[in-house]
Every structure is written in C-alpha cells, then in structure tokens.
Structure 1
Amino acid sequence: MLKTIALVVVAAIAALLIFAATRPDTFRVERTARIQAPAEKIFPLIDDFHRWGTWSPYEKLDPEMKRTFGGSASGKGATYAWDSKGKAGAGRMEIVESSPSSKIAINLDFTSPMEGHNLAEFTLQPQGDATMVTWSMQGKSPYVAKLMGIFFNMDQMIGKDFEAGLANLKTATEK
C-alpha cells in the first residue's frame, strides 16, 4: 500500500515538473488606464525616479527602504537603486529610452529576493483631452518562475500593482 502511494506521489511530482517545463520562456504583464490629463503632465512623473514616490505602489512597501539615485536627473541614463529588508527586495532601474511625452523604457534588475532582468515600458497615447497610459513589463521566465507560475498567477499579482500605480498617476495628474 505504501509503495503504491509513493509511486503516485512520485508520478504526480514528475508530471508537475514536466508540465512546468512546457510553459512559455517569456512573460509579459500589461495594464492600461485612461487619464484625463495631457501626456505632458503625466510624463515627468514617470521620467524622473525622484517623483515615483508620488504614484508608485512599490515606494510604499518599506518606509525604511534605502534609495540611491544616479546618472541623469531624469530621462535616459537616470538610475535608481533600492535595498529593502522587507517586501520591496533589492534591485536597480535605468531609463534606457525616453521619448518626451510618449514612451519610457526601463531596464529593471532585481537582485533580491530573486534575481531577474526585465524591461518595463510606459507608453502614453493622447486621445483628445485624455491620455491612454500603458505600463508593461516583460522578461525571460526561467524554470523556477515557470514552476512558481503553476501555483501563483504572476499576471494578476503584478497586474494589481500596475493598476494601483496607474490609479495613483490618475489621481496625481487629474487634479
């Protein structure tokens, strides 16, 4: 009887590991919000890491988080590193593309709690007196992330943060 149970458990674990290997090698999370403000008013809040405290949900995860700014004051070449003993982990961002009032691309490197190298993008598309703002993140999905993805929906988890950040941008710029 114990032998049968052990074989079933081993088979289930093997099936789970094989299933994880078949999952996509990359991921993409994206959320969009319509903000009743011109792109010129929204863009500076994203293009300057010093202003992320106004809207980024990640800035509120750890009040004791250490922050280091470098490179350009804003735009291409601006850098921001953080180190947190709490939920925020540690990592570094660098703006690698900054097209005024339309697009910002950021290399996003996590060092803790897990290593990860992703690309975050913000696109701003004017629509009359409003702007459609899209926040996306994409990157490689190593095997461990594929395995975790079976149990945790990364799109929903990260997507909720993106939705909160876009709502904060909306509040900050529609005043």
Structure 2
Amino acid sequence: MILITIALAIVTFIGFGLYKASDLQSIQIVKTVTIKGSKQEVFDMVKYLNNFPKWSPFLAEDPTQKHEVKGTDGTVGAQYHWDGNAGKDLGFQEIVKIDEQNFIGMQCDIQKPFVAKPTFDYYFAETANGIEVKQDFKVQSALPDAFFMWLFSAKAGMEKMNEQGLNLLKKSVENNK
C-alpha cells in the first residue's frame, strides 16, 4: 500500500510538472529601462561587445569569467565568447542585425551548463525622460528541458538576470558622464 501511494505521488508530481513545463517551452521576457544619456551613447554601449563586461549580469555573478570579442566589434557577425564558473559556463552571443540607433538583434549559442539558443533583441527610443531600452528575450525549449526549468524556477532567475543586466547598462551609461 505504501509503495502504491509513493508511486501515485511520483506520477502525480511528474504529470503536474510536465503540465506546468508545457508553458515554459516558449519563454519571452520583455524588460525596459530608461537611461539618461544620448541615444548614440546608449546604443553604442550595447552595439560594441567590448562594452558588455561593463554591464554584464553574468560577469557580475562570476568576476573570474574569461571573455573575448571575435570579428569586427560593433558589426553584424561580431561575437562575444565567454567561459566561466571554472569551465561550467560556455557559449557566445553574436550580433545578427543592426538598425543604427534603433535596434540590435543578438543570437546566443549556449553550450554549458545546458544547450540553448536564446535571442536578445534591443529596441531604442527617445522619450521625455531619456532613452528607453527595451530588451526582448526569447528561448525555445524541449519539454524535458522545460520540466527542469519549472523544477528549478528558471524563468524567475532569467527575469531577475535580465533586469539586473538592464540596470547595470543604465548605471554604466549614467556613471560615464
């Protein structure tokens, strides 16, 4: 009887987890920040990948992370490679589209600690309060990966990390004055 109860509890947990995970197969996180600075200054802070260490939330979490820019910085095809957490984090992000002072599209290729290919799209707009930067993050996952993201509340962590990155971007531009 005890084994049947345990088995039913496990099946129920896995069933519920797969149901919840189905919502995490496609994640989109949109965050915005308003920055006091010129549109060119804000745009260049994102466009030039050599600036990324100034506002990277990942580097803030792991200051020993190694990184390098490959290709011509600030152009389509430029890549920011990282290797952190003693080899446990590995990947790169690549600029795939630029609309000068309006939009930057980036594709990531994460190899460790999991395999994923999220995108980061950045939109820039002038407002009365400064330059609004909107970050649109998207990632697709298979159901097993989404189950583990549900299990470990990964979406909440992603939201926190994206918000931290935009706050560091704001701080980096505004403290540069």
| TM-score (norm. length: structure 2) | 0.86
Superposition map of 1:93-172 within 5 A: 93-128=93-128, 130-172=130-172
Aligned length: 175
How many angstroms apart in 2 are the aligned matches of 1:60 and 1:15?
Answer: 37
Partner of 1:44: 44
State the shift of 1:4 in Å.
3.2
Q: What's the Cα RMSD here? A: 2.2
Distance 1:119 1:4, change over 3 A: same
Deviations 1:8-31 (A, max 9, x none): 224324423541464353111121
How many angstroms apart in 2 are the aligned matches of 1:24 and 1:168?
Answer: 27
How many angstroms apart in 2 are the aligned matches of 1:21 and 1:75?
Answer: 37
For the 8 Å contact 1:62–1:88, the answer to whether it is kept is no
Partner AA of 1:72 in structure 2? T
Structure 2 unaligned regions, length at least 5 = none
Q: SS in structure 2 opposite 1:117?
A: coil
Deviates most, 150-159 or 138-147 = 150-159
How many angstroms apart in 1 are the aligned matches of 2:11 and 2:160?
Answer: 35
Deviations 1:120-144 (A, max 9, x none): 1111111135111112210212112
Partner AA of 1:37 in structure 2? G
How many angstroms apart in 2 are the aligned matches of 1:17 and 1:172?
Answer: 40
How many angstroms apart in 1 are the aligned matches of 2:95 and 2:49?
Answer: 9
Superposition map of 1:17-96 within 5 A: 18-20=18-20, 22-86=22-86, 89-96=89-96
How many angstroms apart in 1 are the aligned matches of 2:74 and 2:46?
Answer: 9
- Counting aligned pairs with the same residue, the percent is 20
Distance 1:17 1:171, change over 3 A: closer
